[in-house]
């Protein structure tokens, strides 16, 4: 007998279902053994039984061997090279068979009840496709992200970033889905939309997955009780040239896949991207990496099928043009003040 809810109603009380739902936790890594070690130690202390699948993107610091020696219950998938976040997560989810797949960065520190609380909502609604965890900055005073929000151009933003932690109880901005740093996905929903788009390697993939899940009729929820600390830039140089290129690539790729520049918000999208590229070239980074990334991503999407826009309820139309530009600029400001 399965504990998965069905359209005919669950065979168990809703309060019991989260205990019955099985979970795979997918942890993509590349080097950073100390972070991974801490992450896996914290997962060992979880109150909810689960399976850990670590997908190694070509680590050179002995991470796979160390995991097998120190955490023998964890499954290790060695990809042999840095194939990207999307491939690592897809391979990890495919290697599991649990009801819920949880994507978790190795720089997220979870308290013992984190997984139990994150899975709780899945017992109440069979059409709940995903759940977002509340990620706090080190110290726990401010929100790093509480899922994702998108503006009318389908640009994604970490929801409530920088807000005081108590603000997590608010409903705005509108949630579209979880961040890939710490999000839970019903396997049925994941399989329905075929997981992450491997046309991009890093960045924007969680926004796109959220959009496709919502377009396919799956809902999402933000779970304020599932709180963890995200160390954030501990795994990479913040806003490095590589990050700016990959981020630009993803934006160009998805602009084309969703036909944003052919739709109602084309002028707004073009203006926003122009400001970002010019700001990067003239004010912040003094190069054309952001532009080159967008051009490459746009070209990579050539010939691919157009993706459907999500329902209007998934888009936060209160994120105006000026607010969206401010959110973009905030990324660069944060990079300069934290460097």
Distance (Å, whole) CA 120 – CA 225: 10
Distance (Å, whole) CA 110 – CA 6: 30
Token look-up 């110290």 returns 139
Domains for the chain: give ranges and CATH numbers: 17-235 (3.90.550.10), 241-338 (no CATH)
- Triad 167, 140, 332: Cα angle to 5°: 80
Distance (Å, whole) CA 83 – CA 22: 28
> What's 302's DSSP letter?
T
pLDDT, one tens digit for every residue, the chain (339 residues): 222 222 333 444 445 555 689 999 999 999 999 999 999 999 999 999 999 999 999 999 999 999 999 999 999 999 999 999 999 999 999 999 999 999 999 999 999 999 999 999 999 899 999 999 999 999 999 999 999 999 999 999 999 999 999 999 888 899 999 999 999 999 999 999 999 999 999 999 999 999 999 999 999 999 999 999 999 754 444 568 888 999 999 999 999 999 999 999 999 999 999 999 999 899 888 899 999 999 999 999 999 999 999 999 999 999 999 999 888 776 654 544 343
Query: Would you call the peptide bond into 173 cis, given omega within 30 degrees of 0 as the criterion?
Result: yes
Q: Is 104 helix (H, G, I), strand (E, B) or coil?
A: strand
Element (H, E) at 232: none
Distance (Å, whole) CA 215 – CA 305: 15
Token look-up 């290790």 returns 76
217 CB neighbour count, 10 Å cutoff? 11
327 CB neighbour count, 10 Å cutoff? 20
pTM for the predicted model, two decimal places = 0.91
Rg (alpha carbons) of the chain, rounded to whole number: 19
Q: Alpha carbon of 167 to those of 136, 160, 320, 330: distances in Å? A: 12, 8, 21, 19
Strand partners, 142: 164
């Amino acid at each position: 007998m399965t504990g998965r809810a069905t359209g005919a109603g669950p065979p168990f009380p809703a309060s019991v279902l989260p205990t019955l739902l099985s979970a795979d936790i997918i942890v993509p890594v590349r080097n950073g053994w100390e972070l991974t070690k801490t992450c896996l130690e914290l997962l060992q202390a979880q109150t909810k039984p689960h399976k850990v699948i670590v997908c190694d993107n070509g680590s050179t610091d002995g991470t796979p061997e160390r995991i097998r020696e120190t955490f023998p219950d964890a499954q290790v998938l060695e990809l042999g090279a840095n194939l990207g976040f999307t491939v690592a997560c897809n391979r990890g989810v495919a290697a599991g068979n649990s009801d819920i797949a949880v994507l978790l960065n190795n720089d997220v520190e979870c308290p013992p009840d984190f997984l139990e609380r994150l899975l709780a909502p899945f017992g109440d609604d069979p059409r709940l496709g995903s759940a977002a965890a509340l990620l706090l900055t080190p110290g726990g005073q401010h929100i790093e992200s509480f899922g994702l929000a998108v503006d009318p151009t389908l640009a994604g933003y970490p929801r409530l970033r920088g807000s005081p932690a108590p603000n997590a109880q608010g409903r705005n901005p509108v949630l579209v889905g979880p961040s890939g740093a710490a999000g839970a996905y019903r396997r049925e929903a994941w399989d329905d939309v075929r997981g992450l788009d491997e046309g991009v390697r890093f960045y924007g993939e969680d926004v796109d997955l959220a959009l496709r899940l919502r377009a396919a009729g799956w809902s999402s929820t933000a779970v304020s009780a599932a709180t963890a600390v995200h160390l954030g830039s501990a795994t990479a140089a913040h806003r490095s040239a590589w990050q700016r290129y990959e981020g630009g690539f993803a934006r160009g790729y998805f602009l084309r896949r969703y036909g944003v520049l052919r739709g109602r918000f084309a002028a707004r999208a073009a203006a926003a991207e122009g400001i970002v590229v010019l700001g990067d070239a003239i004010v912040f980074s003094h190069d054309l990496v952001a532009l080159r990334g967008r051009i490459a991503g746009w070209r990579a999407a050539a010939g691919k099928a157009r993706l459907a826009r999500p329902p209007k309820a998934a888009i936060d139309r209160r994120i105006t043009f000026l607010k969206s530009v401010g959110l973009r600029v905030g990324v660069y400001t944060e990079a300069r003040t934290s460097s």
